[in-house]
Amino acid sequence: MRRLRVFLPILTAAALLLPGALRAQDRFAALPAVEQPFVDQGEISGAVMLVADKDRVLHVSAVGVSDLATGRKMEPNDMFWIASMSKPLTALCVAMLVDDGKLSFDDPVEKYLPEFRNLWVASEQSANRRVLVKAERPITIHDLLTHTSGLGEYQVTGPHWTLAEMVRALLREPLRFQPGTRWAYSTAGLDTAGRVVEVVSGMPFAEFMQTRLLDPLGMKDTTFWLSPEQEKRFAHSYRPAGQPGKLEEAVITYMYGGAVTDHARPALGGAGLFSTAADIAKVYQMMLRGGEFAGRQIVQRATVAEMTRSQIGSLRARPGMPWGLGFCVIEDPTQMEANKTYSPGSFGHGGAYGTASWDDPATGLVHVFMIQRAALRPNPDDSAMRRAYEAAVAAALH
């Protein structure tokens, strides 16, 4: 909280310097002032901040640089690796097939991926001993989307494996627990959901997402593979270099050894997408509109409601944050500092390198915050940078 108290006076002072007409047009115009100190102190290279309602973007701005090596200025339309912010988009693709009547959230995964039959669970495990028992029930699609499947992460990967090969490799290891009995985050579980979409739709997962979600929303800068033009707008990822105020380039491990432009990489729905703040805002505008965008119903209103309510019962996920279907839900905002300005029932998702995208239905606002900083503490969702951004948005509303 001490850092927030430092930056709120900066926000207030910056707002007072703005002409009255400009303040009326953009009440969030002072947002860059709260992120600039993080750039100056070498904690992040830069940031893009966006606030929207269900109909329009109210504010978008950028500070810092996107590439420390060249000094390229950060721009509002820069491309970010959005990491786990990919997961809600993957879940929306599954939801469209549910709306189409082609599958159910409660369907067993083995109905579409036969390799998921007869799974084993590690009931006891140590350095010298592993005891396996049969899974008591099949993994369902609901389990994949709520992180209750028992699936872990990949032990082996290849940059040019197909999505089908990635999922088969995942099953070389037993489940971590009986399906539905615990909550444990699994990025590979959402990759598996993408593979289900591929099988059920009869088209490559990336093609389905492009045709059914990205194109209808006009998301021209959301992709699994950067084009040469998009690479020029790529915001590089950084981590602390071992001394205060210094950053070094960070490897995006979820590229699994492939380049960001490499089309031979599989389209992985757990953490594989790149996007811009404006593109991501369109997804959350659509959700605030009950699944409708530009006069077209992308996802049924009842399906949106189902995806954005807690689906894990008494299981504990993150502090004050149970899980919906692909979306995280804020049930108790007081349990995480960065969430304290949100209303109960807000929903969204963060990314490993500090990106964040959230809807607050009570205020009717979309929040999109984009940085590329590895090794954030205490965690990427609760970084000092996001805390400052959220506090500044809240201050601008009062």
Quick one: pLDDT at residue 6?
Answer: 44
Cis peptide before 378 (omega within 30 of 0): yes
The predicted pLDDT at position 25 comes to 75
Residue 186 token pair: 């699994």
Mean pLDDT of all residues in 284-288: 98
Per-residue tokens: 97: 């097939």
pLDDT at position 193 over 70? yes
**353 and 83 in contact (C-beta within 8 Å)?**
yes
- Per the CB < 8 A criterion, the answer to whether 267 and 161 are in contact is no
Please give the Cα distance from 264 to 204 (Å, whole number): 13
For the chain, give every domain's residue range.
2-80+218-396, 91-206
pLDDT given for residue 125 in this prediction: 86
Whole-angstrom CA distances from 200 to 52, 99, 103, 118 are 34, 13, 8, 21
Half-sphere exposure for 97 (CA within 13 Å, toward CB): 26
Q: What confidence tier does 20 reach under pLDDT thresholds 50, 70, 90?
A: very low
pLDDT at 194: 98
Rounded mean pLDDT of 156-173? 95
Alpha helices in 150-272 (DSSP H): 163-170, 187-201, 205-209, 215-217, 228-231
Those residues with Cβ within 8 angstroms of residue 225's Cβ, 6 or more apart along the chain or in another chain: 260, 261, 262, 263, 265
Instruction: Tell me the per-residue pLDDT of 301-338, one tens digit each, with 9 for 90 and over.
Output: 999 999 999 999 999 999 999 999 999 999 999 999 99
Decide: 324 and 310 in contact? Cβ < 8 Å. yes
Quote the tokens at residue 216.
Answer: 């209808």
Domains 2-80+218-396 and 91-206 belong to one CATH topology:
yes
Q: Positive or negative, the Cα torsion across 22, 383, 278, 245?
A: positive
SS3 (DSSP) at 323: strand
Question: 221-272 pLDDT, tens per residue?
Answer: 999 999 999 999 999 999 999 888 999 999 999 999 999 999 999 999 999 9
Q: Could you tell me the sign of the dihedral formed by the alpha carbons of 374, 78, 212, 268, in that order?
A: negative
pLDDT at residue 27 in the model: 95
pLDDT, position 3: 46
Residue 4 in this model has a pLDDT that exceeds 70:
no
Angle of the 163-170 helix axis to the 187-201 helix axis, nearest 10: 130
Q: Is pLDDT of 22 > 50?
A: no
Query: Is residue 80 within 8 Å of 235, Cβ to Cβ?
Result: yes
What is the SS3 assignment for 273-290? CEECHHHHHHHHHHHHCC
Closest CA to 341 of 328, 354, 330, 326: 330
Q: What is the pLDDT of residue 374?
A: 98
Helix or strand run (H / E) with residue 385: helix 384-396
Helix, coil or strand: residue 357? strand
- Among the four given CATH numbers 3.40.190.10, 3.40.710.10, 1.20.1250.20, 3.40.630.40, the one describing domain 91-206: 3.40.710.10
Partnered with residue 25 across adjacent β-strands are: none
Amino acid at position 106, single letter: D
Residue 289: count other Cβ atoms within 10 Å of its Cβ.
Answer: 16
Q: What is the largest CA-CA distance in the chain?
A: 70
Q: Which residues contact 258 (CB under 8 A, 6 or more apart)?
A: 159, 160, 264, 265
For the domain 2-80+218-396, what is the CATH code? 3.40.710.10
Q: Is the pLDDT of residue 2 over 50?
A: no
The DSSP string of 78-125 is -BEE-GGGHHHHHHHHHHHHHHTTS--TTSBGGGT-GGGSS-EEEEEE
Torsion, Cα 111 177 162 190, to 10 degrees, reads 80
Q: How far apart are the first and last CA of the chain?
A: 19
pLDDT interval class at 17 (50, 70, 90): very low
Residue 314 Cα distances to 13, 152, 178, angstroms: 45, 21, 16
3-state secondary structure 154-174: CCCCCCCCCHHHHHHHHCCCC
Mean pLDDT across the stretch 65-71? 98
